[in-house]
Amino acid sequence: MLQKPRGTRDFLPDEMERRRLIERRMREAARRWGYREVCTPDFENLELFTMKSGEGIIQEMYVFEDKGGRQLTLRPEVTAAVLRMYVNEGKVLPKPIRWCYFADCFRYERPQKGRYRQFWQFGVELIGADTPSADAEVIMLADDTLRSTGVTFDLHVGHLAPMKHLLSGLDPGDQRAIMAYLDKHDPQGLEAALVEKNLTHLAEPLAALGECRTVSEVFEVAGDVPERARIEETFSLLDSQNIDYRPDFGIARGLDYYTGMVFEGFAKNLGAENQILGGGTYRLAHLFGGDDVASCGFAIGFDRVMVSIGDFTLAHEPVVGVVCTPEGRARALEVARAFREAGIRAEADLMGRGMGAQLAHAAKTADFAAVLGKREVEAGTVTLKDLHSGEQQERSLEDAIAEVARHGAC
């Protein structure tokens, strides 16, 4: 038996319906804030992601050469693609630009619960606004979007400036390496790297930075930074709206393009793979041939949100099984069409079964049977059988439709 590739999943209809419901809620949250959906290709030129995505992601990409010898990759994330699209198509649009997306991404990671090789992200990118209000809007939207899904989470908000200030004496390669350990929450790796690079004096302030719970403590640990006023203003905007977040200046982010404010969300009930959201401010457009425009965004790990929410029962829409004799087939198609036109799910026999077998099948798969025997076909009626109670009554087609519709979602 052939199996699906490692790290991918199949979704049966119940699961797909649950996923679509949660997806709709996230789109709806973004819509209310004015973010409109965009779509980019599943694969891009490799260099789009090698320019600034960071070593971690580059190692994990699904890279291939097409028949024309082009180096391509399945997208490991969507931000770089959206900014490429902005440079190609969006430069003339009035700013700020508010875009959102729901897209699958591909990373060659070691699969486990909550970590897949194909996974979906719901994200937003706010392009062309470089203010504390812009940063605060994106954080508030992240909070709103996560809340709309029903997941329970902690939101951590920080800024890279204090950490970069602590690491300012290092060359960019060492700085990136240290930040990668911080991002992975790998204290052993961090310690070994600090020893190797003769930087053990940084261990204490780096640890202290992650412990700070107020903005003023952060500047005591890391020293003052020019971004201080902006950080304070962003945080006070969040406070003014009673956003439930925790200042966390230990956030390093795995992607290299972040420039300032950074934030992450963690599901309260998940284990190792509990990070359900990541985002921040960044600059990418200038690398792709555009203007050096400030941007800010986030992406939610949709699959992790679904794991966190767990299975739930959906409102059940009534299903009608249309049961007929061989002679009644044309009438059965008419009846099924009338139910469908009224928005009701109707299924007709495709197996050439007798009426008894059709009814037995309907009892397993439907809530009502619309029975069309010889008499009903001649009279233009339908015998509607409630397959749960067993009650049945011959009615006009309109009455039968009204009766099923009355049950709505049951």
Q: Which residues bind ligand HAM (CB under 6 A)?
A: 77, 79, 107, 109, 115-116, 119, 121, 123, 125, 254-255, 275-280, 282, 297-299, 301, 303-304
Kindly state the smallest distance separating residue 121's Cβ from ligand HAM, in Å: 5
Give whichever of 53 and 358 is closer to ligand HAM, judged by the CB atom.
53
Give whichever of 56 and 205 is closer to ligand HAM, judged by the CB atom.
56
Q: Which residue has the tokens 């009673």?
A: 242
Task: DSSP for 225-262, please give it.
Answer: -TTHHHHHHHHHHHHHTT---EE-TT---SSTTEEEEE
Give whichever of 103 and 400 is closer to ligand HAM, judged by the CB atom.
103
Give whichever of 123 and 328 is closer to ligand HAM, judged by the CB atom.
123
Give whichever of 102 and 298 is closer to ligand HAM, judged by the CB atom.
298
Give whichever of 234 and 358 is closer to ligand HAM, judged by the CB atom.
234
Helical (H) or strand (E) element with 126:
strand 118-127
Kindly state the smallest distance separating residue 290's Cβ from ligand HAM, in Å: 16
Kindly state the smallest distance separating residue 269's Cβ from ligand HAM, in Å: 14
Kindly state the smallest distance separating residue 115's Cβ from ligand HAM, in Å: 5
Give whichever of 301 and 318 is closer to ligand HAM, judged by the CB atom.
301
CA–CA separation, 111 and 114 (whole Å): 8
Q: Which residues contact 88 (CB under 8 A, 6 or more apart)?
A: none
Give whichever of 132 and 301 is closer to ligand HAM, judged by the CB atom.
301
CA–CA separation, 119 and 353 (whole Å): 41
Kindly state the smallest distance separating residue 91's Cβ from ligand HAM, in Å: 19
Which class for 53: exposed (0-12), middle (13-18), buried (19 or more C-beta within 10 A)?
buried
Kindly state the smallest distance separating residue 259's Cβ from ligand HAM, in Å: 11
Contact 148, 28 (CB under 8 A): yes
Kindly state the smallest distance separating residue 299's Cβ from ligand HAM, in Å: 4
Give whichever of 252 and 332 is closer to ligand HAM, judged by the CB atom.
252
Kindly state the smallest distance separating residue 319's Cβ from ligand HAM, in Å: 33
Kindly state the smallest distance separating residue 320's Cβ from ligand HAM, in Å: 39
Q: Letter for the amino acid at 64?
A: F
Alpha carbons within 13 angstroms on the beta-carbon side of residue 333 total 5
Q: Which residues contact 167 (CB under 8 A, 6 or more apart)?
A: 174, 175, 178, 179, 202
Which class for 323: exposed (0-12), middle (13-18), buried (19 or more C-beta within 10 A)?
buried
Beta strands in 311-391 (DSSP E): 319-324, 345-348, 368-372, 381-386
Kindly state the smallest distance separating residue 118's Cβ from ligand HAM, in Å: 8
Beta strands in 254-410 (DSSP E): 258-267, 275-282, 295-301, 319-324, 345-348, 368-372, 381-386, 392-396
Q: Which residues contact 103 (CB under 8 A, 6 or more apart)?
A: 39, 40, 42, 75, 78, 120, 121, 123
CA–centroid distance for 136 within its chain: 20
In 3D space, the residue among 134, 144, 161 whose CA is nearest the CA of residue 237 turns out to be: 134
Which one-letter DSSP state was computed for residue 112? B
Kindly state the smallest distance separating residue 406's Cβ from ligand HAM, in Å: 42
**Strand, coil or helix: 369:** strand
Q: Which residue has the tokens 């600034």?
A: 52
Give whichever of 295 and 358 is closer to ligand HAM, judged by the CB atom.
295
Residue nearest to ligand HAM (CB): 301
Give whichever of 119 and 339 is closer to ligand HAM, judged by the CB atom.
119
